[in-house]
Structure 1
């Protein structure tokens, strides 16, 4: 595709307001587009001056609102105002919106060449359940409306594509799969696993089980805690580190009072890399996972993954080849963890094969080439 000028609209980024995996995915997409000779302006939140990082031009706004819906509507208006100041004389070729947060901005700019990427849905974030509270209805309505008015739609997995087509009647010919990618070298580090374990009070030879993610129902940390109870009956030396914050933290800590689980809360990226490379098993017990960036991060570090057989995790893991797929229940999760803890040689082999799959299928360069193909179909 010839060089083009692209505007990103996303409520988070790696260099200002960062909430979850969306920041990583959208930022890396933008930076890879620049590497492929495209111009990218990234409209997002932040309380810092506009700046250019790795060739991407970031434009920040500071929205306000009584609730998340009002907040995102205010953010969208501010984004559009900033966008218009940069839209002339060289008009943008494509406008790329990420998730529901900037859908109001998509509404204002719907006459342009627009593309909307679903990274998840409100239905999925609530554990495949329909909510009857007003925020659920408002957010789901915005997700439906975004899919209706965008010229092109992408989803990060086939499961999510089917979900948005079913929930929001997005036509099949309008929606395609563009997966997330990874920069694998960022997650592989030469560390002394025993030293890292010791810093958490863990014996160097004790198996370390790692969970990182938001402590919310969708991510299944409660399933992990109940599974660990069973794992410890089998392996009394097993230790668990739970990294992340969320509404379920106090509940989980109460449930795990008698278990060898260390809740470390939010940790910086550097500490995450140390823990990731010291871990023996990475567990992803999600009830719903449209893609699952932690999977690619663990594979990049050549780590064995035990993951729920759902969504993008199910699509991307080849069972017993590069990971273990388990049911969404404590017994199955416990079985998967215990099996890998008992077979460290097999766990290591699965991790290496996971890294090989990353190098074949999940590098950002080829993925962004697929994305620019989707851009070209906006105007086809």
Structure 2
């Protein structure tokens, strides 16, 4: 089986945690890697953002990333990417012709890629599987008051994909409900495939490893540490954590608390300074350390250095950060939104908070920081919980979805229907 994956707006090889690179990058790279190891040939098409990338990157056997030139390498905002859909699609078609490629199936990620996949589906007469990762209607329903709404144009494009893709893959049953409620999707065309965690990389550390991680990060060894890992944007909620920490320290100024915020700005108007300024305005800048995004093998140290990982997002399709944290043995406090109630076993591997009220988050953080026995027990249980989610299992599920999609009849140019290859 040869699969064309499409991830137009961000390359799976980019560093997650800043710009447009995040959980989707982790998802695409890991599912593709494990599909390739199971014998599926995977080509991932993405938009070239610098000439040094080269046209083709051989990641490993059966897996390569193909960089398509569409618009300028740099300086093109995500909001302007729809202007390059035709150029990107044309680049994929040309590459396929020049290399005599024949794909059995297309799997698109995010709505921009889905629009390209929809075109290629009819051109190549190959079924289209689409994963939205996030949805405009859902983001608008859950966004914070200060966050910019998603455009109606995006919502319309997503509706087209729901109506035309052969199968839709989602992370949780909650996402299925979102598609049905907001986009009138047919539940029979939606398949749940749970994401995973790299349980071989994200492993618990012993006391010595934790001490080493804290020394490397400049964190006091005996402080209680709360960490946030992700893109710095309102939707991910770093401001919620900063305000909750300020509230906690206002209650108890002598509390030995430190906060790590690891990530880069994301979005047209996002800057790291706005979060630095917020911490400064609230008088907690000395308690918070901002870290640049880092590759997974270095991110392990941040997870291990923390007593708690906070995930105060306004919505998450699943919550990969929460799963990676638990895999390292660190309990999670997360918002009760999206797929996070599935990623976090409430009361067993962490706590879930209703809403984003500052007092509620301060209470939850204090509750877990002050109860050492419960926190340690949750960390131990978290490892087993995370072990039940693996990328290998996700890839196996996806391969089954692909086989199902290949049996679906696809209309040809005369309106006749024939099954996929």
Report if TM-score (shorter chain) is over 0.5. yes
Which of 100, 120, 124 is equivalent to 1:109? 120
Corresponding position of 1:242? 261
Structure 1 runs (4+) deviating above 4 angstroms are 87-90, 129-135
User: In the TM superposition, what whole-angstrom CA distance separates every residue of 1:24-75 from its partner, at most 9, and x where no partner exists?
Assistant: 1011111111111111111112331212112202211232276535424525
Aligned to 2:418: none
SS state of the match for residue 303, structure 1? coil
2:87 counterpart of 1:68: no
- Work out which of the residue numbers 300, 307, 332 in structure 2 matches 1:280: 307
> Cα gap change, 1:212/1:126 in structure 2, threshold over 3 Å: closer, same or farther?
farther
Any idea what the Cα deviations from partners look like across 1:293-337, whole Å, max 9, x if unmatched? 101110111111111111110123221111111122222221221
Task: Give the secondary-structure state (helix, strand or coil) at the position aligned to 1:192.
Answer: helix
Question: Closer, same or farther in 2 for the Cα pair 1:69/1:198, shift >3 Å?
Answer: closer
- Larger RCO (alpha carbons 8 Å, 6+ apart): 2
Q: Which residue of 297, 319, 322 maps to 1:292?
A: 319
Q: Does 1:163 align with 2:178?
A: yes
Counterpart in the other structure of 2:165: 150
Q: Structure 1: how far apart are the matches of 2:261 and 2:95?
A: 44
* CA distance in structure 1 between the partners assigned to 2:165 and 2:310 by the alignment: 36
Alignment of 1:257-336 (within 5 A): 257=280, 258-259=283-284, 260-328=287-355, 329-336=357-364
| Partner of residue 32 from structure 2, selected from 30, 33, 50 | 30
Question: Across the two proteins, how many residue pairs are aligned to each other?
Answer: 376
Counterpart position of 1:120: 134
Partner of 1:92: 103
Counterpart in the other structure of 2:60: 54
Structure 1 residues 321, 133: CA separation in 2 closer, same or farther (over 3 Å shift)? closer
Question: CA separation in 1, counterparts of 2:59 and 2:90?
Answer: 21
Consecutive unaligned residues in structure 1, runs of 5 or more: none
Instruction: Give 5+ residue unaligned stretches, structure 2.
Output: 409-421
**Equivalent residue in structure 2 for 1:255, among 278, 287, 297:** 278
Write the mapping of 1:198-237 to structure 2, written as runs, cut at 5 A. Answer: 198-232=215-249, 233-234=251-252, 236-237=255-256
8 Å Cα contact 2:144/2:235 also seen in 1 = no
Indicate yes or no: 2:351 matched with 1:341: no
Cα separation, partners in 2 of 1:248 and 1:343, compared to 1, 3 Å? farther
Q: Secondary structure at the match of 2:121?
A: coil
Normalising to structure 1: TM-score of the pair?
Answer: 0.90
Q: Check whether the contact 2:308–2:332 (CA below 8 A) recurs between aligned residues.
A: yes
Residues 189 and 21 of structure 1: CA distance in aligned 2, closer, same or farther (over 3 Å): same
Contact 2:167 2:190 in 1 (8 A): yes
Find the counterpart in structure 2 of residue 5 from structure 1.
2
Q: CA RMSD in A?
A: 2.6
SS of the aligned residue for 2:348 comes to coil
Cα distance in 1 for residues equivalent to 2:112 and 2:227: 31
Q: Is the contact made by 1:61 and 1:75 (CA closer than 8 Å) also made in structure 2?
A: no
Q: Equivalent residue of 1:58, what SS?
A: strand
Cα deviation for residue 248 of structure 1 reads 5.8
How far the C-alpha of 1:356 sits from its partner, in A, is: 0.8
In 1, Cα distance between equivalents of 2:148 and 2:78: 13
Match of 1:78 in 2: 88
Conserved 8 A contact 2:226-2:309: yes
| In structure 2, distance between residues paired with 1:100 and 1:69 | 12
Change (3 A) 1:330 1:78: same
* TM value normalised by structure 2: 0.82
1:325 is paired with a residue whose SS is strand
Q: Identify if the C-alpha distance between structure 1 residues 21 and 133 changes in structure 2 by more than 3 Å, giving closer, same or farther.
A: closer
